[in-house]
Amino acid sequence: MRHSVIEMTISIKEVIDADRFPIFDRESSRLSDLVSQTSISLEDDGCAVLKNFIRPEYLDCLTREVLDVAHLAYDNIDDVNVYNTDVSVDYPPEHPAHIVMKRGNAFVARDLIGEDAIIAQLYINRDFKAFIARCFGLDRVYELGDPYAGLCANILRPGLEHPWHFDTNEFTVSMLTQAAYAGGAFEYCPNIRTPSAENMNHVSEILTVSGSSKIKRLDLRPGDLQLFKGRYSLHRVTEVSEDRDRHSAIFAYSEIPGVIGSATRTRQLFGRVAPEHLRAEMSNARSDNLMD
């Protein structure tokens, strides 16, 4: 059952600051310039942030719609490694997969987010998807076929963190909807590995050496849109240290239609699976041979 969090549907064209981010005018030179600038940031740094993508007058609504479903998040503190692989596997002694961390972030699945929510409308909007595709140099992106993971809310409660990890998808789109009072910073190390090289010595350095110069930190605020190449850039959200959650929306797209997560990973993140996930377990295609 989906939970409606706003009384009436707000047009997504009202919500986005289209004066600064003209995504609805696909043929405009201003949009081409925006795409070019964003693409350069992604190429050079693996990350691009569009500050104040949402108009200020809609930020309270954006915050509230995730706040209202945060209690539905699946809380499950896991022992994980940087690759989200089985921590009991007997890797070589120097392998960074031996370093075990506590993953404390929780997820609200797509089927629990109201269809009239700003983040839900944004996820399916054709102009938004076309813009995202162009920024990543793709002809098109598709919503996931996954009933839970295409769009989800990421909830990080006080005293918890989302430790260093790589994403399964090559690219990630997200938006902060509520900042923590303290902590909860997004940190990343761009291009720490490539499609053909794990570069485990660099990964081990980040996990074991305090204050590495490779680490960058973002000051994200509610309404900021973040585009990120998380498959190759190591990243984390630091511990939330005061009494307010950190909330964000995750917009997951794919280069091919119908992508569905595995049953194992879905159960880990959402505490349940659908028939689609059981069928997807039979096919575990990847675009590279990297550890997950």
Locate all alpha helices (DSSP H) within 55-199, ordered by sequence: 59-67, 118-124, 126-135
**How far is 149 from 110, CA to CA, in rounded Å?**
6
**How far is 190 from 167, CA to CA, in rounded Å?**
13
Any idea what DSSP says for residue 217?
E
Positive or negative torsion for Cα 121, 124, 130, 134: positive
What is the pLDDT at residue 4? 45
pTM of the model: 0.90
Q: Give strand pairing partners of 205.
A: none
**How far is 193 from 198, CA to CA, in rounded Å?**
5
Could you tell me the pLDDT band of residue 279, with boundaries at 50, 70 and 90?
confident
Helix (H) or strand (E) holding 208: helix 200-208
Query: Of the given ranges (37-51, 231-245, 266-280), which has the lowest mean pLDDT?
Result: 266-280
Instruction: Name the pairing type of β-strands 246-251 and 172-178.
Output: antiparallel
- Of the candidates 191, 217, 196, 192, the residue with the CA atom closest to the CA atom of residue 205: 192
Q: Give strand pairing partners of 80.
A: 101
**How far is 166 from 186, CA to CA, in rounded Å?**
13
SS3 121: helix
CB 12 within 8 A of CB 118: yes
Residue type for position 20: R
Could you tell me the pLDDT band of residue 6, with boundaries at 50, 70 and 90?
very low
What is the pLDDT at residue 35? 98
When the pLDDT of each residue in the chain is averaged and rounded to a whole number, the result is 91
Q: Give strand pairing partners of 60.
A: none
Which token pair is 286? 């990847």
Q: Which sequence spans correspond to the domains of the chain?
A: 13-280
pLDDT in tens, 218-229: 989 999 999 999
**Angle at Cα 114 formed by Cα 112 and Cα 120, nearest 5°?**
105
**Angle at Cα 82 formed by Cα 276 and Cα 110, nearest 5°?**
30
Q: Which CATH architecture has domain 13-280?
A: Sandwich (2.60)
What is the pLDDT at residue 2? 58
Residue type for position 182: A
